[in-house]
Amino acid sequence: DIQMTQSPASLSASLGETVTIECLASEDIYSNLAWYQQKPGKSPQLLIYYANSLNDGVPSRFSGSGSGTQYSLKINSLQSEDVSIYFCQQNYDSPRTFGGGTKLELK
Amino acid sequence: QVQLQQSGAELAKPGTSVKLSCKASGYTFTSYYIYWVKQRPGQGLEWIGYIYPGNGGTYYSEKFKGKATFTADTSSSTAYMLLGSLTPEDSAYYFCAREDTEGIGDYWGQGVMVTVSS
């Protein structure tokens, strides 16, 4: 199975800041990487797919990058509604595997 | 619009089974995979496996082989997951999600809480 290592596990930032979350795959996943946002009590929502493609309706302050085994999610100009848990998932191979998640809080 | 509507919360006793449902609408049910994900409260996401309603093909993550069984009813556009031999470790939220042709989970159900307790 492909292992996904996500960092940091938690993150505290101020409104307007830029934050970055990293995801490392145990092998090359050829940009088959998605990012999800999960708000408390809700199901995950797709933010980014193919490592850098923004899903419909997702604010442009979110962006994804990376290739090979290393990927990142960047949130520019942090807003209060961005407080959530963020997960990466590889969809290159089955079983699809998730990173452990990053809990983003406001400082 | 695409929607996945999951059944209500379940309370079950250890050793029994529960069958969760995921009713799809707004798209051609037989053309997309449905996968299931487990999330224990305050924990991360575990991918359980998928079913392809078009032909009934299934895939199970090694950890969930023997625990989960997927079926699909194309007449009602509903996917099911049977969880058997329940233990307290099975207490969790379970989500269904649609996987598009590129393997991306683009739409998710609202989730259902399963509580296993005597």
Q: How far is the C-alpha of A37 from the C-alpha of B6, rounded, in Å?
A: 20
Residue with the two structure tokens 């049910």: B29
pLDDT digits (tens, 9 = 90+) for B32-90: 999 999 999 989 999 999 999 999 999 999 999 999 999 999 999 999 999 999 999 99
DSSP letter for B65, please.
B
Model confidence at B103: pLDDT above 90: no
Q: How far is the C-alpha of B100 from the C-alpha of B66, rounded, in Å?
A: 26
Whether the Cβ atoms of residue A89 and residue A33 lie closer than 8 Å to each other: yes
Q: Is B13 on the interface with A (CB under 8 A)?
A: no
pLDDT tens, N- to C-terminus, chain A (107 residues): 999 999 999 999 999 999 999 999 999 999 999 999 999 999 999 999 999 999 999 999 999 999 999 999 999 999 999 999 999 999 999 999 999 999 999 99
CB pair distance less than 8 Å for A96 and B106? no
Q: Is B113 on the interface with A (CB under 8 A)?
A: no
Q: How far is CA B97 from CA A5, A73, B3, B64, in A?
A: 22, 22, 10, 17
Q: How far is CA A99 from CA B3, B79, B99, in A?
A: 25, 26, 18
Q: Is B58 on the interface with A (CB under 8 A)?
A: no
Model confidence at B114: pLDDT above 90: yes
Q: How far is the C-alpha of A81 from the C-alpha of A79, rounded, in Å?
A: 5
Interface of B with A in 65-94 (CB under 8 A): none
